[in-house]
Structure 1
Amino acid sequence: MKKFLVFALASGAISHPLASSLVADTEIEIARSTEKQTVTSDVPASLKSFANNVVTENFVTSLGFPKAMTTLVDQEKATTHILIVTRDGELVVVDNNGEVSKFSLALDNLYTKGQGGVLDILIPSQFPASRTVLISYSKGRDDANRLAVVKGEFSLSSGITDIEPVIEVEQTKDTPVHYGGKLLQLERSDVSQAPSFLVTTGDGFDYREQAQVVSSQLGKVLGFSIAGKPLMNPTFPENPYVYTLGHRNPQGLVQGPHGQIFMHEHGPDGGDEVNLLQKGANYGWPVVTLGKDYSGARISPFSTYPGMTDPIVNWTPSIAPSSMIYYSHDQYPMLTDTLLVTSLKAKVLYAVNKTSSTYVSTKVFDKLEMRLRDIAVDHQGNLLLLTDGENAKVVKVSPKQNKAQ
């Protein structure tokens, strides 16, 4: 904690009143609050029994270290194409019948060590009028690597071609971890506006103090246009790409029907969380955390702090959340208006929804007993779960009564 305070004061990362208060408060023994476990009361019985009313089938197998998945849904033709990107730079396209096509991604200086590699793929809502898609990945070398976002032209027959840079994190690092890299297109109230996007960036693990430094792009959510320019009316003119700050390793990123932006992120040993993002807000890391260092040492005495936004969900012990969708299909009425969160360490699909007083996290599916990397939905509203590792697969989860469809 002292190291952080010295760095923060020297760099101007924290305002003087806040810094002075932090220094004073470190002299006081403050018990870490692990009482913020998300409650599981008021959960509908239908949600608790979800796993007993579904069937699974392996839709795609033999995937080598997949990192992200998305879908192209055609409701008129009642078809779904699944797009998967793998760590080592391959695009896998699966048609409605399960037929697989594979394409190499021509990514400049792809860096695949540790948690690196291709990280996410986003198909903007303008598709197919515009065939531009976005990919995030780590690039560089052991002693200097960073997160990058590129764009390219996608077709079912050729994969992704004409790849061009969009935005890169300004700072390089010498650690192969904590990249973030999740992409989101912001829904627009005015269709005449240019599309706006967000991408999460991790703190690089050894650089966690940078999450509180506005001039750094580590430990942030960044906002940008398809041309790689910052969004209009930035909160921080000195670093106009910064949308929010104070993040450790932010992953799942989705927008709800009323414009809410939800993001989850990895804590250290404990303190995984879901945040409700507000432009310009500070989410606390590493000043605030409900987790401990992997050594067991305390990172910070604070579980909450004035001017820093608390999570809406906390998972302690850690579940290692990996991705997330906002489910709004009528295939599963019990899941309507629910965040569905995949997890790596816990090997569980969680539902997060709002009760009258709080957000509730519930385990809804753990039958696979495998690390879950990503989640998507097909044209029928069935769930598609992407597993993790060197021999991964896509599992379709559908209601029992629809087995014969």
Structure 2
Amino acid sequence: MKSWLSVWYLLCLTIGFSEASAKNEQLAAVHTDVNGLNVFANHIVVEDIVTSLAFPKAMKTVIDKTNSTTHVLIVTRDGALIIVNDKNEEVTFELPLDDLYTDGQGGVLDILIPSQFPENGTVLLSYSKGNDSANRLAVVKAQLSLTSGVSHIEPVIEVAQAKDTPVHYGGKLLQLVGNRSLEDLSFLVTTGDGFDYREQAQVISSQLGKVLGFTINGKPLVNPPFPESPFVFSLGHRNPQGLAYGPSGQLFLHEHGPDGGDEVNLLHKGSNYGWPVVTLGKDYSGARISPFSTYPGMVAPLVDWTPSIAPSSMFYYTSSQHPALTNGLLVTSLKSKALFVVHESASGYTSNMVFNKLDERFRDVAADHDGNILLLTDGENARVVKLSPE
């Protein structure tokens, strides 16, 4: 399984290359902003929307601007879809996914509701399938009804390589802008490196440790950057867990580093994001993974979280309901049990912690029709809370 690249990588670790003396100047200053915590966290009302959720993985909203209502959709690890209407009434449906694998970090991973909904009811789901010895990330499409759940599930794309580890799936979905008809819809999905297969993140022919681009019918995007591996959109990722559009069409991605080195990146088609040749983190044992914190031809992050926060999801917030967050990337975290906002300034990107009062791991974040923040917590007794101004 080892390629020439992995051999080169291992040689680099044994040779006394000196590590770069300073991090990239564009990396964000990451800290707890006391003013931000005071302005936001101390002037909001926290309200439970849903409770008693068993291992939820992702949350999306369906907003009806005409009627000023929001439906909240949550998918759980073990294959449930919970739909909550504007009166906080909830109903649960089964997701009949083929060969669902739920060990470790596996299970249902994400749901994407394209911009054409509800005129067209097609949605996407990502999940892990297989067994302990051979499992992989899969994406399917289905028809969604807010009153009867999903039906007509069909396969779209699966990661070509199976692995025997129950971790690092990625699985975050994003619709690419610019296409209106169903046949023209195109998407991205993140894939993890499988942990024990990290060298594959730098191998073009492998779909591990990548962002993949595909159409609603499971075909590669037009004009792929790597014609020999037409589904590969970008490479060099460890465990990417957030995808979001910025206000000018920028693509932002965040991912888990090892012990340190969590990142926000500006995502470009055909770019290499370095893992495992470049990292600002260390192995969990404390050993150095790579001698390089930068490398020619590999993209440096906009934000580096060291120590790790374990980012779990992200979206760009445009509402004025919470002015301290407006025009920022909202990032939930598992390890830090906090909500962060990433803002762009003249000197680069700055990350600030703005909410950490629940002492719970945060799995996902969204906004309702009024611009109130919805936070999905993690674990066997999770909930959705709404943060609204006093």
State the TM bucket, normalised to the shorter chain. over 0.9
Rounded Cα–Cα distance in structure 1 between residues aligned with 2:350 and 2:34: 11
Q: Which residue type is aligned with residue 57 of structure 1? A: E
Alignment match, 2:15? 27
Whichever residue aligns with residue 132 of structure 2, its letter is D
Q: Give matches, 1:67-82, under 5 Å.
A: 67-82=57-72
Q: What is the match of residue 181 of structure 1?
A: 171
1:50 equivalent in alignment to 2:40: yes
1:49-69 Cα distance to aligned partner (Å, 9 max, x none): 211111101111000000000
The 1-side partners of 2:294 and 2:19 are apart by 11
TM alignment of 1:140-219, pairs within 5 A? 140-188=130-178, 191=180, 194-219=184-209
The separation in 2 between residues aligned to 1:8 and 1:305, in whole angstroms, is 20
- Counterparts of 1:314 and 1:206, CA distance in 2: 23
Percent of matched pairs sharing the same residue: 66
Q: Is the 8 A contact 1:263 1:274 kept in 2?
A: yes
User: Which residues in structure 2 correspond to 1:10-21 (within 5 Å)?
Assistant: none
> Deviation of residue 127 (structure 1)?
0.6
C-alpha separation between the residues in 1 aligned to 2:251 and 2:126?
19
- Whether 2:273 is the aligned partner of 1:300: answer no
Matched position secondary structure for 2:200: helix
Aligned: 1:225 with 2:215 = yes
Identify the match of residue 380 of structure 1 among 354, 357, 370.
370
Residues 199 and 27 (structure 1 numbering): CA distance in 2 closer, same or farther, change over 3 Å? Answer: same
Q: Is the 8 A contact 1:66 1:87 kept in 2?
A: yes
Query: Do the aligned partners of 1:131 and 1:155 also contact (CA within 8 Å) in 2?
Result: yes
Q: Say yes or no: does 1:246 pair with 2:236.
A: yes
Where do 1:112-131 residues align within 5 Å? 112-131=102-121
| Per-residue Cα deviation, 1:221-255 (whole angstroms, up to 9, x for no partner) | 00000000000000101110000000000001011
The alpha-carbon distance between structure 1 residues 290 and 331, as it changes in their structure 2 partners (threshold 3 A), is same
Code of the aligned partner of 1:217: Q
User: How is 1:353-392 mapped onto 2 (pairs within 5 angstroms)?
Assistant: 353-392=343-382
Counterpart of 2:99? 109
Candidates 283, 286, 297, aligned match of 2:273:
283
Identify if the C-alpha distance between structure 1 residues 53 and 208 changes in structure 2 by more than 3 Å, giving closer, same or farther.
same
Give the Cα–Cα distance (whole angstroms) in 2 for the partners of residues 108 and 284 of structure 1: 34
| Deviation string, structure 1 residues 75-123 (Cα, Å, up to 9, x no partner) | 1111100000000000000010110100000100000000000000000
Q: CA deviation at 1:319?
A: 0.5
Runs of 4+ aligned residues of structure 1 deviating over 4 Å after TM superposition are 22-26, 32-37, 43-48, 190-193
Structure 1: runs of 5+ lacking an equivalent: 1-5, 401-405
2:193/2:238 contact within 8 Å kept:
yes
Q: 1:35 and 1:323, CA in 2 relative to 1: closer, same or farther beyond 3 A?
A: same
- Contact 1:113–1:176 under 8 Å retained in 2: yes
**Alpha-carbon distance change, 208 to 33 in structure 1, aligned in 2, over 3 angstroms:** farther
Q: Structure 2, unaligned stretches of length 5 or more? A: none
> Partner of 2:255: helix, strand, or coil?
strand
Contact 1:281–1:309 under 8 Å retained in 2: yes
Q: Deviations over 1:310-333 (max 9, x none)?
A: 010000111100001100112122
Of 124-133 and 48-57, more deviation after overlay is shown by: 48-57
Contact kept? 2:376, 2:385, Cα under 8 Å = yes
Deviation at 1:27, TM superposition (A): 2.8
How far has the Cα of 1:158 moved from its partner?
A: 1.2
Offset at 1:334? Answer: 2.5
Q: Using the alignment, how far apart are the partners of 1:65 and 1:289 within structure 2?
A: 30
Residue 39 of structure 1 deviates from its aligned partner by 1.2
**Are 1:319 and 2:289 counterparts?**
no
Whether the aligned pair in 1 keeps the contact of 2:23 and 2:293 (CA below 8 Å) is: no
Aligned counterpart, 1:394: 384
Q: For the structure 1 residues 34 and 310, does the alpha-carbon distance in structure 2 shift closer, same or farther, using more than 3 Å as the test?
A: same
Q: Secondary structure at the match of 1:187?
A: coil
**1: CA distance between counterparts of 2:144 and 2:341?**
32
Q: 2:85 aligns with which of 95, 119, 122?
A: 95
In the superposition, the TM-score normalised over structure 2's length comes to 0.95
Q: Would you say the 8 A contact 1:34–1:316 is kept in 2? A: no
Measured in 2, the distance between the counterparts of 1:52 and 1:127 equals 36
Which whole-Å CA distance do the structure 1 matches of 2:34 and 2:168 have between them?
36
1:34 Cα deviation after fit: 7.5
Alignment match, 1:403:
none
Is 1:261 paired with 2:257? Answer: no
Distance 2:334 2:235 in 1: 24
TM-score (norm 1): 0.91
Amino acid in the other structure paired with 2:16: I
CA distance in 2, matches of 1:140, 1:46: 44
Q: Is the 8 A contact 1:175 1:204 kept in 2?
A: yes
